[in-house]
């Protein structure tokens, strides 16, 4: 056995003893100051959160008389936000309206929360799909103007979106003249054919020798059709005693223009596609091209390479991009304030302003409670996908 191997445990023991004998002054100079900075940074980050939580359960509903440790606590600020809500058979399964608590008019905060989550999910999903396709094109395909396109996307992202407020306003105003009303059909027109098709596909899968994956997809299709039909039946029975009397509508093509969520989503789609494309391209560049070449030798097309090789390997960065986009759109205020007019169409950041729009009658306790409730979707998203965030950012940096 080599002498270096024998001396290794001795050196480790000496190092441990040296650390144990470290004086307080040396400990603070080498390690302790880092702990102090970390604790201060943590307190700096948690103090606003603690204050909001304290204000949300404070019985004093004003800003000037609020204390960090309230004299009396109540959950009335939370219950007041749901006072104007009732269960409904539609989608979402509730309906909220403006209501009065004392002399204060309380806006429908749950409706605002639903609007924000819906818009953020739809816009983030479409942005992620467009960004992934663009990133694959720039990372893997070779075509004339590719470098110019990358630089152009980066330059366009340097200009803030609110510079185009006037142009966006006029554009949506013009589109409203063409797509002013939504195209709707009865729920039965969708539910009955979907259930019949799903049942037929499931029957064929059960009687045939399809693969396990094909059978699973067939059963999922049948299940979705059955759920939609059950939803239609429940909605009809809730509204009337005879299931075919009520007439629920399903939107096939929404209205587009000012005051519509579709118009706002279309505006959001051009927000961060450039940044997301660069981020995804950096990750895709780190994936070896030998995988693409091996798949193409076996007869794979570009779509097969993209969908079956690149996307599964790029899943961590896709999740990171989705989270960043979702949080940004969920908290967006300026565009939503300009383009949305109806109170029932407000997003959460816009609706929170209604609680403090009057300087002398602002309900700061309800505002704090609404802010705490509004953080719930983001917290759920981070907690459920936190293990993928670090891996996605690490891979993007390597790329």
As a three-state string, the secondary structure of 127-146 is HHHHHHHHHHHHHHCCCCCH
- Coil, helix or strand for 39? helix
- Coil, helix or strand for 324? helix
E strand intervals along the chain = 85-87, 94-96, 99-101, 104-106, 183-186, 249-253
Question: Digits of tens for pLDDT over the chain (399 positions)?
Answer: 455 455 555 555 554 555 556 777 787 777 888 888 999 999 998 988 888 888 888 877 776 667 778 777 888 888 888 888 887 766 777 888 887 777 777 888 899 999 999 999 999 999 999 999 999 998 888 888 888 888 888 888 777 777 777 888 888 888 877 777 777 777 777 777 778 888 888 888 777 777 777 778 888 888 887 877 776 666 656 555 444 445 667 777 788 888 888 888 988 887 778 888 888 888 888 888 888 888 888 888 888 889 888 988 888 889 888 998 999 999 988 888 888 888 888 999 998 888 877 655 567 888 888 999 999 999 898 888 877 776 655 554 444
SS3 content of the chain, % helix, strand, coil (to 5): 70, 5, 25
**Confidence (pTM):** 0.79
Task: Give the CA angle between residues 75, 73, 378 to the nearest 5°.
Answer: 50
Enumerate long-range contacts of 209-214, CB under 8 Å, 24 or more apart. none
- Pull the structure tokens for residue 79: 């219950």
* Sign of the four-CA dihedral 232, 236, 241, 245: negative
pLDDT at 44: 92
- Residue 381 and residue 145: Cα distance in Å, rounded? 38
- Pull the structure tokens for residue 356: 């403090």
Q: Which value, to the nearest 10 degrees, does the dihedral of the CA atoms of residues 181, 186, 191, 194 take?
A: -60
Q: If you compute the radius of gyration of the chain from its CA atoms, what whole number of angstroms results? A: 28
Closest Cα to residue 396, out of 248, 277, 293?
277
Closest Cα to residue 101, out of 77, 82, 80, 86?
80
pLDDT at 5: 52
pLDDT at 9: 53
- Do 292 and 303 contact (CB within 8 A), yes or no? no
Q: Which residue has the tokens 């059909």?
A: 185
Q: Which residue has the tokens 């399809």?
A: 210
**Number of other CB atoms surrounding residue 256 within 10 Å:** 19
């Amino acid at each position: 056995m080599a002498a270096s191997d024998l001396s290794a445990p001795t050196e480790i023991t000496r190092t441990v003893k040296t650390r144990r004998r470290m004086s307080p002054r040396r400990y603070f100079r080498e390690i302790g100051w880092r702990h102090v900075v970390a604790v201060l940074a943590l307190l700096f980050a948690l103090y606003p959160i603690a204050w909001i939580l304290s204000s949300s359960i404070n019985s004093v509903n004003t800003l000037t008389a609020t204390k960090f440790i309230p004299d009396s606590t109540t959950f009335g600020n939370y219950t007041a936000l749901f006072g104007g809500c009732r269960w409904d058979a539609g989608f979402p399964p509730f309906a909220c309206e403006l209501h009065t608590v004392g002399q204060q008019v309380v806006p429908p905060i749950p409706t605002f929360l639903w609007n924000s989550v819906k818009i953020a999910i739809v816009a983030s999903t479409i942005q992620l799909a467009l960004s992934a396709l663009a990133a694959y094109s720039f990372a893997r395909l070779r075509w004339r103007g590719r470098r110019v396109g990358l630089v152009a996307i980066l330059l366009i992202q340097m200009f803030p979106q609110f510079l185009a407020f006037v142009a966006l306003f006029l554009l949506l105003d013009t589109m409203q003249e063409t797509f002013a009303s939504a195209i709707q059909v009865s729920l039965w027109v969708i539910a009955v054919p979907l259930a019949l098709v799903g049942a037929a596909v499931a029957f064929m899968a059960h009687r045939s020798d399809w693969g396990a994956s094909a059978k699973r997809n067939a059963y999922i299709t049948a299940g979705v059709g059955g759920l939609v039909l059950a939803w239609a039946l429940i909605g009809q029975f809730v509204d009337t005693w005879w299931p075919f009397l009520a007439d629920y509508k399903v939107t096939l093509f929404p209205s587009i223009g000012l005051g519509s969520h579709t118009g706002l989503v279309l505006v959001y789609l051009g927000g961060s596609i450039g940044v997301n494309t660069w981020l995804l391209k950096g990750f895709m560049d780190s994936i070896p091209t030998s995988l693409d070449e091996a798949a193409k030798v076996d007869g794979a097309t570009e779509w097969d390479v993209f969908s079956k090789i690149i996307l599964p390997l790029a899943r961590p960065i896709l999740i990171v991009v989705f989270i960043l986009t979702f949080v940004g759109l969920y908290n967006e205020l300026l565009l939503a304030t300009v383009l949305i007019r109806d109170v029932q169409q407000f997003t959460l950041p816009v609706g929170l302003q209604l609680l403090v729009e009057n300087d002398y009658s602002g309900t700061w306790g309800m505002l704090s409670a609404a802010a705490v409730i509004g953080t719930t979707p983001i917290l759920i998203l981070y907690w459920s996908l936190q293990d993928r965030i670090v891996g996605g950012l690490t891979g993007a940096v390597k790329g």
